[in-house]
Amino acid sequence: MGILDNMPSDAVKVFTGIGLIFCVVTLMIIIALIFSSIHDAIRHSKWKHQYKRRFDKPPLAKCYCKDCEHHNWNSDVCHAHEGWHTADDWFCWAATPRPFYKELDRRSRFPDEEKL
């Protein structure tokens, strides 16, 4: 004698349907959590790779803002970009090295040229 023997058959069908729906929803939630954790792991590994490699490629600028022809050392204002205030360690897409730094760069690249 079980509990279901005394219940009407309609009530058994209702509770069976509720249990089946609950199991399906629970299974769908578990599958969604698994896919979400796999997606997060992939995103984290890509982020970690980008974080490790962030200094591999140098910037496209030719010099720092402080070494640019357009930078005013006294006021830290860039005259190439309508008076932007710039820091010493910034780069710019329109950087033009000062002639002094161009000469130093040339000497550092070709040190034997001066001996000739």
Distance (Å, rounded) from C-alpha 116 to C-alpha 113? 6
Instruction: Give domain status of residue 57, yes or no.
Output: no
What pLDDT was estimated at residue 8?
80
Instruction: Give domain status of residue 59, yes or no.
Output: no
Query: Average pLDDT over the chain, rounded to whole?
Result: 77
Q: Which residues, at least 6 apart from 72, have a Cβ–Cβ distance to it below 8 Å?
A: 78, 79
What pLDDT was estimated at residue 7?
72
CB 107 within 8 A of CB 76: no
Q: What is the pLDDT of residues 11-46, one digit of tens each?
A: 888 989 999 999 999 999 999 999 999 999 999 999
Are 14 and 39 contained in the same domain? yes
Q: Which two tokens stand for residue 6?
A: 């005394």
Number of domains present in the structure of the chain = 2
